[in-house]
Amino acid sequence: MIRLPDWTIPVTDAFARAGVDLYVVGGGVRNPLLGLGTAELDMCSGLLPDGLTELLRGVQGVRATVISRELGTVRIDVHGAKGRFIEHTALRTDNYGEGGSHRPEFVKTGVSIEEDANRRDFTVNAVYYDVARKKVLDPVGGLKDIENRRIRTVREDTLFDDALRILRMVRFACELGFTIEEATFKAAARNVDMLRDIAPERRAEELSKILLSDAKYAPPEQADGAACLRGLELLRDLGALEFLLPHLEGGRGFSQPNEYHQYDVLYHNFYTCRHMPPVLHLRLAGLLHDVGKPEAYEQDGNFYEHARVGSALAAGMLGQDGLRFKKALVERVCLLIEEHMFDLDGSAKETTVRLRFATLGLPVACELLWLRRADILGSREGNSAEFFIRKWGSVLLALQRDGTPPSPDALEIGGEDIMRVCGLGPGERVGLIKERLWRHCVYDPRQNTRERLLRRAVSLNRELPPGMTKKAKKKR
């Protein structure tokens, strides 16, 4: 039973008054038949953008915005929809150029439902709901595929027309828990090279959805990463990783010491990703945390520098020369990769852990604990991360509970106070004393009082060699 949300009534009523047939298509039909919710609501009709905007003109609480006049796409926002909207497209057929470019070269409107269905990607997305007649229309056999939980292309050349559909195929299979028809999978593998012609941002968008596919229809706390892992395996089997995160492939078959690892580097990265919470930058950090191992081993004959090497490789794959993720996300992923070997054997003193976590900041430190947990669980079946959860977790709780100043700027005194009591002018030495005071308070937050810090600043100024600054300290 398809039931449209109440906020769509002003739109559907306007079509009814005008006597224009309106159809829901895609997830808005498929998901209710599966008992799933849907955030997207795609509709179509014979109206072109100008006709649609004219039909909705004056309808209270409704705003129509033309997205693509060429493709007949209009976004319809309705008051009370709470962030949801309708994307309306004109019934059309498409003709694509060679090379899987994603955008049709020729569009014909004013076509039938059957013709419109033949341009769509998968049969499960080509089931229509006639709003006026309250009837499901199935021109290409999508209902049977929904019943059988199977992804199948509408036409044999569907994936050749638009290579982005290869990634969409994987994404839908993972989000919905569907199998992929054998012929469809083979066609995807044949055409996978055409992914190189898809804009990096579009590839990044689909990869992101695959990595978070287990949380599409489940709350985050119930997302177990199984769908994410399946998506990575499908991308590997298709040969698609080369066009997404090419350095990952270097870990395939690259063995690791059996004492610590059950899997090769590639599968260890997969499993670590699976065990991370369903947050994009965390999943990416898990997926790429050991990506530098093959190159580090080739350079040095060991893995000692793999965190640094991996961080640089991740920056290249995710940044402007790669998939063009946002700068802040790339920097966070690379920071986690670079730091993931800290206290590897668990022998670091509590004071050392306190200082590192305070330096990183609590949000990053918490994420580093998630990465350590996932790294351990992803190394060998049956592993436990309880030791680090207890050790690092207690430090994180203490930093929060004790009111540890998060940075030197959070101290109860500032640079002017230090200059006054120490008889110093502006300069690097003031910054060095301030940093030393902050470390002092990280170890013992009770010291963060004005009186104690002023006394300590005077002592530090006496203890430090004359002329010593941060730069001089680094040179030494």
| Residue whose C-alpha is closest to residue 155's, from 187, 191, 199, 131 | 187
Task: Please give the pLDDT value at position 476.
Answer: 40
pLDDT along the chain (476 residues), means of 10: 92 97 97 90 96 96 94 94 94 74 74 95 98 97 98 93 95 98 97 95 98 95 96 98 97 78 91 98 99 86 87 98 98 99 95 97 98 95 92 96 95 97 94 96 96 97 80 50
pTM: 0.92
Non-local (6+) Cβ contacts of 383 within 8 A are: 376, 377
Q: Please state whether beta strands 135-137 and 150-151 pair in parallel, antiparallel, or not at all (unpaired).
A: unpaired
Tracing tokens 């199977």 back to the chain, one arrives at 150
Judged on CB neighbours under 10 Å (0-12, 13-18, 19+), 426 is exposed
- Contact indicator for 254, 215 with CB cutoff of 8 Å: no
If asked whether residues 98 and 141 sit together in one domain, one would say yes
Burial 256-290 (b: 16+ CB within 10 A, else e): beeeebebbbbbbbbbbbbbbbbbbbbbbbbbbbb
Is residue 68, in this structure, part of any structural domain at all?
yes
Task: Please give the pLDDT value at position 475.
Answer: 46
If asked whether residues 327 and 452 sit together in one domain, one would say no
Is residue 172, in this structure, part of any structural domain at all?
no
Structural domain total, the chain? 3
CATH number of domain containing 364: 1.10.3210
A 10 A CB-CB count for 302 gives 10
How far is Cα 46 from Cα 113, in angstroms, rounded to an integer?
A: 9
If asked whether residues 121 and 89 sit together in one domain, one would say yes
Range of the domain at 362: 245-401
If asked whether residues 109 and 251 sit together in one domain, one would say no
Q: Which residues pair with 454 in a beta bridge?
A: none
SS3 135: strand
If asked whether residues 396 and 415 sit together in one domain, one would say no
Q: Please state whether beta strands 73-78 and 85-90 pair in parallel, antiparallel, or not at all (unpaired).
A: antiparallel
Non-local (6+) Cβ contacts of 475 within 8 A are: none
If asked whether residues 396 and 414 sit together in one domain, one would say no
If asked whether residues 19 and 105 sit together in one domain, one would say yes
- Contact indicator for 140, 174 with CB cutoff of 8 Å: no
Task: Please give the pLDDT value at position 471.
Answer: 56
Helix then strand count (H, E) for the chain reads 22, 11
Q: Looking at 368, 401, 434, which one is the last position of a domain?
A: 401
Residue 29: phi and psi, rounded to 5, are: -105, -45
Q: Looking at 148, 175, 198, which one is the last position of a domain?
A: 148
How far is Cα 338 from Cα 358, in angstroms, rounded to an integer?
A: 16
A 10 A CB-CB count for 369 gives 19
How far is Cα 415 from Cα 438, in angstroms, rounded to an integer?
A: 12
